[in-house]
Amino acid sequence: MQKKETIGEFLRFGITGVISTAVHYAIYWVLQHWVNVNVAYTVGYVLSFLMNYWMTAHFTFKERTSGKNAVGFGGAHLVNYCLHIVLLNFFLWLGLSRELAPLGVYAIAIPTNFVLVRYVFKHVSVTPVMFARDKSQMCNNLLQYAHVYAWGREHGRKVVSMRFSYKYRYFHICHTSLTGFGWYLLAKYAAALRLLPTASFKDSDCDREALERKMLAHPHIVVSGWHVRYYDLFLKYRQEICELFTLDPQFTAPVKAKMNDTGIRLGVHIRRGDYVHWQGGRYCFDDDVYIRHINRFAAMHEGEEVHVYLSTNDPSVDAGHYQQHCPAAVIHHLQGSAPEDLFMLSECHYLIGPPSTFSLVAAMYKDLPLYRMDSPEAERMTAADFHLFDYWFRRIL
């Protein structure tokens, strides 16, 4: 499935490039009759660049445009523009007509870019760089990157997240060096063109030893797949990982202002949506199941003030309904975005929820006790069943 998606993106990338080049030349051809050729070429380049950016985001990768990925995309094209202008004037100096000079530029610039990228990755002596690649939901991507990061950190490698270079840009890592849309494009198509080797941990039964030997053998490599696992190294560099994935202040400040400072804070992750189908709907629990768990927790902390913070992807969840059926607790439903809910859960003292990397990552930041709802029976929940992050992250379903 992932291979077909990559081939599709590569074909759409080629279509985008052909259309952008045609638009560039058409604008240049018209304007060069009226203005200086460099001005005409630059105007054509800029307008075709804007169209290229829009098509790359919406057509090639089917992602939203944003100021951040626009800057990254622009940076990737700046050197290319300089090469185009130099070549254009060179061909004009040689005596080519205004109409033919751009064709010579295209004939040289495109393969030159290919050769330069190949040379950088094959021969230039720089800090070894690993590109972590995975296509999944936010916290799956976070944990997959963290395992690759921990391995790279142990072996002196710089590790770049391809996913967080253009998506889920809520974290500190998104503002670090090499984490940008331009680097994402470079790594993606360098791998597609076999300029960069790939170590794929796609299958649970993959040959991990052989893949690690491949990672050690290549200073620059793409590491992909959900099943990359380096548990001990993850724990060794866990503090650095948490710092990289510190949420930006615009997501944390509103949550801090709304959370209560007294009593016990229990975060409850109500997962619906995709859980209707995942594992045959086994973990898509109804409100009564969560209510019983909340009441069970309140009974375990009788005499204490319990504040319950609901996090859910189901817009139909009614905090009033929960409050009515959970009289021993105070129910809060902040209705935040995904990053806001992640931070909210991480600020609680205890967490309850079905198997999910979302609640698992929330527990990671401050090593919170987490009860995983492997069944709907609330009476099975005891204090001894709340385990810390290092227990659950080795038992991901």
pLDDT at residue number 51: 77
Identify the helix (H) or strand (E) that includes residue 119.
Answer: helix 101-122
Produce one character per residue of 194-212: b if its CB has 16 or more CB atoms within 10 Å, e if not: ebbbbbbbeeeeeeeeebe
Q: Which of 390, 360, 397, 394 is nearest to 238 (CA)?
A: 390
Q: Which of 261, 290, 271, 155 is nearest to 216 (CA)?
A: 155
Mean pLDDT to the nearest integer, 331-335:
96
Q: Where are the alpha helices (DSSP H) in 123-271?
A: 138-154, 181-192, 208-217, 231-236, 238-244, 249-258
pLDDT at residue number 81: 78
Mean pLDDT to the nearest integer, 73-93:
76
Tens digit of each residue's pLDDT (9 = 90 or more) over 100-138 = 888 888 888 767 655 554 554 455 445 788 999 988 899
In which region does residue 270 sit, left (phi positive, over 0), alpha (psi from -120 to 50) or beta (all else)?
beta
Tokens of 233: 């190294």
Edge-to-edge strand ranges of the sheet holding 350-353: 330-332, 306-312, 264-270, 350-353, 370-372
Q: Do 326 and 350 meet the contact criterion of CB atoms below 8 Å apart?
A: no
Tens digit of each residue's pLDDT (9 = 90 or more) over 144-165 = 999 999 999 999 999 999 999 9
* Percent residues over pLDDT 90 in the chain: 60
- The residue written with tokens 């004037």 in the block is 89
Give backbone dihedrals phi and psi of 222, rounded to 5 degrees, phi first.
Answer: -95, 130
pLDDT at residue number 1: 47
Angle at 293 between CA 291 and CA 296, to 5 degrees: 110
Beta-carbon contacts of 273 under 8 Å, excluding residues fewer than 6 positions away, are 313, 314
Q: Do 21 and 48 meet the contact criterion of CB atoms below 8 Å apart?
A: yes
pLDDT at residue number 71: 45
pLDDT at residue number 352: 98
For residue 44, pLDDT beyond 90: no
pLDDT at residue number 125: 45
For residue 56, pLDDT beyond 80: no
pLDDT at residue number 152: 97
For residue 275, pLDDT beyond 60: yes
Residue 235: exposure state from Cβ atoms within 10 A (0-12, 13-18, ≥19): middle
Structure confidence at residue 70 as a pLDDT band (50, 70, 90): very low
* Percent residues over pLDDT 70 in the chain: 85
Mean pLDDT to the nearest integer, 312-333:
97
pLDDT at residue number 124: 47
Most confident of 83-97, 168-182, 267-281: 267-281
Tokens of 283: 């973990």
pLDDT at residue number 366: 96
Least confident stretch, 5-14, 39-48, 175-184, 224-233: 5-14
Least confident stretch, 5-14, 347-356, 374-383: 5-14
For residue 224, pLDDT beyond 70: yes
Computed over every residue of the chain, the mean pLDDT equals: 87
pLDDT at residue number 42: 87
pLDDT at residue number 66: 46
Which whole-number Å values give the CA distances from 40 to 29, 46, 75, in the listed order? 8, 10, 21
For residue 11, pLDDT beyond 90: no
